[in-house]
């Protein structure tokens, strides 16, 4: 399937769109970034007289360097936060299992970990009313 690149730049209150691969370049505009793909698709289909579903459109926003730098920082912060969240969840699961294996109820484990007993039961794969078995 043929793919076209819709390069877009902010121009006032609009996104100016260029698709350079079609007939020396076609130009259109969209009010919002989430409308660029559909607008470019319509323009390409009309220009080439083909169905809009017969090709792919890749949207490439062209942004000022300082915006790109700021967005890179945001993306990196999100990746770091996601990694920290995975680490925290693994620690919660490990400690939760330890506490439950030691005989604590899901309510006690929830209170210690700052979670609802329902969340603990769900993560542990138990119903909230299950009690741990006592071993001798």
Is residue 14 domain-shared with residue 58, that is, in the same domain?
yes
Is residue 30 domain-shared with residue 56, that is, in the same domain?
yes
Predicted model pTM = 0.65
- For position 37, which CATH number holds? 3.30.2390
Q: Per-residue confidence of the chain (136 residues) as pLDDT tens digits?
A: 899 999 999 999 999 999 999 988 999 999 999 999 999 999 999 999 999 999 999 999 999 999 999 999 999 999 999 999 999 999 999 999 999 999 999 999 999 999 999 999 998 886 545 555 444 3
Is residue 58 domain-shared with residue 81, that is, in the same domain?
no
**Contact status, residue 2 vs residue 47, Cβ threshold 8 Å:** no
> What does the DSSP assignment read for 100-134?
HHTT--HHHHHHHHT--HHHHHHHHTS-TT--PPP
Residue whose tokens read 């329902």: 118
60: left (phi over 0), alpha (psi -120 to 50) or beta: beta
């Amino acid at each position: 399937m043929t793919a076209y690149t819709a390069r877009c730049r902010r121009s006032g209150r609009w996104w100016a769109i260029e698709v350079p691969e079609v007939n020396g370049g076609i130009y259109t505009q969209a009010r919002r970034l989430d409308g660029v793909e559909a607008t470019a698709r319509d323009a390409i289909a009309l220009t080439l007289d083909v169905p809009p579903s017969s090709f792919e459109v890749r949207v490439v926003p062209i942004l000022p360097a300082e915006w790109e730098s700021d967005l890179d920082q945001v993306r990196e912060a999100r990746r770091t936060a996601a990694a920290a969240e995975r680490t925290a969840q693994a620690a919660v699961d490990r400690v939760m299992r330890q506490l439950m294996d030691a005989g604590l109820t899901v309510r006690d484990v929830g209170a210690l970990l700052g979670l609802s007993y329902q969340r603990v039961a769900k993560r542990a794969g138990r119903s909230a009313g299950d009690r741990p078995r006592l071993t001798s």
